[in-house]
Amino acid sequence: MRGTDSKKRTIAKTLTDKAMEIGLSSTIMYAVGLELPYVIGLPILIEVTQILTYIINERIWSRSQWEVYHEGHLCERCRRKCECPLGRHDC
C-alpha cells in the first residue's frame, strides 16, 4: 500500500526519531560543556516527558467532539455526532 505505514514501520520510525533527537541533544549539551551525567540524562528525561505529555494530550482530545469529521464531512447542520450519510441531514 502506498502512502500508509504499517505498525512496525511507524514504531521503527518513532524509535529512530527519538534516538536521533536524544543524540543531537546530547551532542549539543556536550559541546556546551555540560558534565557527562547531564549529557546522558537530560535528553532522555526530556524525551520521556514529551512522550508522556503527547499521550495525555491525545487522550484528552480523543474525548472531545469539537471539530470532529465523520462520514467525510463536518456536520454543521445538526451540530452533534450523527449517523447521517454524506449530503443527507435528517437531524
pLDDT value of position 1: 44
Nearest to 25 by CA among 47, 57, 3: 47
Rounded CA gap, 74 and 55, in Å?
25
pLDDT value of position 4: 65
Give the residue extent of every domain in the chain.
7-62
pLDDT value of position 28: 97
pLDDT value of position 22: 96
Burial of 57 per CB tally in 10 Å (0-12, 13-18, 19+): exposed
Each of the 91 residues of the chain gets a pLDDT tens digit; together they read: 455 678 888 889 989 999 999 999 999 999 999 999 999 999 999 999 999 999 999 888 878 777 665 554 555 555 555 555 555 555 5
Nearest to 39 by CA among 51, 52, 22: 22
- pTM summary value: 0.62
Rounded CA gap, 5 and 16, in Å?
15
